[in-house]
Structures are given as structure tokens and as C-alpha cells.
Amino acid sequence: GAGVSQSPSNKVTEKGKDVELRCDPISGHTALYWYRQSLGQGLEFLIYFQGNSAPDKSGLPSDRFSAERTGGSVSTLTIQRTQQEDSAVYLCASSLEGGGGYQQYFGPGTRLTVT
Amino acid sequence: AQKITQTQPGMFVQEKEAVTLDCTYDTSDQSYGLFWYKQPSSGEMIFLIYQGSYDEQNATEGRYSLNFQKARKSANLVISASQLGDSAMYFCAMREGRASRDYKLSFGAGTTVTVRA
């Protein structure tokens, strides 16, 4: 079956512009996660969706970041007024459930470059 | 404080030899899970192995085994019979807690492994 897919694979944007990153999780996976991977900060958790529960946004670095998940499937991470420090690889992952030993399956990531 | 510490930024290993990647963790939870992921140059994170805090036996998956020493809070990954395709970055990660909300992974800084022919 298909894995987690993300689009675009690469995005170059000018400082101050808004960007949207898309994630399609594995079909049937109820949990969806966003992480950010940057040289300075390593891998950081951003946000988590589990079924119909309210998302955990505790990892979002500022109010310029937001995410939604429509119909319990596709998710969009939006960064408003991008800054150069937002440059990173944004990874999406999904799992069957949110807890336990269920492994998270990661997508290929979106490399965001803010110029 | 860092939840996951990987002290080896980079390692070289000869093909067909075994290599051990160090990982120590810090948590006050009794229930937690430890994961190892591989990230080749393509960038995708590949799950390798999982160890639950209550698991009494060390986890094994093919050529991967996890040396779990709970008292020392270490979860080292052992790759046996290294292959050229094992060259990649390896991340240790931890999930703390038991509830369905205890989901997010904390990652270490990673160890780059280069396998030499």
C-alpha cells in the first residue's frame, strides 16, 4: 500500500510570504504528526492529531504556525509570514493509534527554504 | 535537559562487522517506549526497532538488536554484519507515558554511520 506522502517536496519562498505544506497519511491511520528537522534544532515535534480529539499544538514554535486535518485524513501545515529561521525539512508521520508501541511511519518530507 | 542523548556524531565501520550506536535517555515515567529510526541520504525516516519499558527481553529485528539496560537508562542499537546500504543517519527516539495522548517522539541528535567496503 501507499506510504505517507507529502507535497511539495521542495519549496522556496521569500521572507514574509505564507506557505502551505500538505500531508497524506496512510489510509486508516488515525494519528498524524508533524515534525521539523533543522540543522540547529534537530528533530522537533510540532503538532499531533488523533481522530476527532482536539489537536495537541504544544510544539508549534509561534502563532505563525497552524495546522488542520480535514475529514480525519489529509493535513495541511500553514506557516504565515515566513522567516529565514523557518527553513527546515518538515516531516509528517502517521500511525494506527497515538500511543503504545505503534510505530510512526514518516513521509519523505518537504524541504522549505526561506530566502 | 535533553531527553535523548546520542554521544557519537559519526562512526565508521567495516563491511560485515558489527557496530553499536549509543543512546541514553532521561524520563521519570515508568511507562515509555524507545525507537530507532534510520535516515538515509534520501531523507525518509525508516523505523528499525522498538523496545517498551516493560519488555523483559531485548528487541530484535533481523540484523538489528536493541541492548536495553533499564537501570542505566540506555538503549543501544547493535547492527550486525554491516552492509554498505546501512550507511545513514540513525536516530534514537522516546515516547513517554502510556495514554493515547502520550504520542510525540523526542529525538536524539543522531549518529552518522559510514560503512566501508
**CA dihedral of B74, A107, A59, A39, whole degrees rounded to 10:** 70
Residue of chain A with shortest Cα separation from B99: A99
**Contact A59/B at CB under 8 A:** yes
Q: What is the model's pLDDT at position A98?
A: 58
Contacts of B33 in chain A (CB under 8 A): 100-101
Q: What is the model's pLDDT at position A107?
A: 95
The whole-chain average pLDDT of chain A stands at 91
Contact B102 A45 (CB under 8 A): no
Q: What is the model's pLDDT at position B99?
A: 67
Q: How many CA atoms lie within 13 A of A107 on its CB side?
A: 28
Residue B86 DSSP symbol: G
Q: What is the model's pLDDT at position A112?
A: 97
The whole-chain average pLDDT of chain B stands at 93
Contacts of B90 in chain A (CB under 8 A): none
- A88: confidence class by pLDDT, cuts 50, 70, 90: very high
To the nearest whole Å, the CA of A14 is away from the closest chain B CA by: 24
User: Is A44 within 8 Å of A65 (Cβ atoms)?
Assistant: no
Contact A99 B43 (CB under 8 A): no
**Contact A40/B at CB under 8 A:** no
Contacts of B46 in chain A (CB under 8 A): 106
Contacts of A31 in chain B (CB under 8 A): 103
User: Higher-confidence residue: A53 or A97?
Assistant: A53
Contact A108 B44 (CB under 8 A): yes
Q: What is the model's pLDDT at position A41?
A: 77
User: Higher-confidence residue: B51 or B103?
Assistant: B51
Residue of chain B with shortest Cα separation from A55: B101
Contact A101 B100 (CB under 8 A): no
Cis before residue A61, ω within 30 degrees of 0? no
Contact B102 A105 (CB under 8 A): no
Q: What is the model's pLDDT at position B15?
A: 97
Q: What are phi and psi of B116, to 5 degrees?
A: -100, 140
pLDDT at A72 over 90: no
To the nearest whole Å, the CA of A77 is away from the closest chain B CA by: 17
For residue B35, give Cα distances in angstroms to A63, A71, A102.
30, 29, 10
Mean predicted confidence (pLDDT) in B79-102: 89
Q: What are phi and psi of A94, to 5 degrees?
A: -140, 155
Q: What is the model's pLDDT at position A76?
A: 97
Mean predicted confidence (pLDDT) in B65-94: 97
Q: What is the model's pLDDT at position A100?
A: 57
- B104: confidence class by pLDDT, cuts 50, 70, 90: confident
| pLDDT tens profile A3-50 | 999 999 999 999 999 999 999 999 988 899 999 999 877 899 999 998
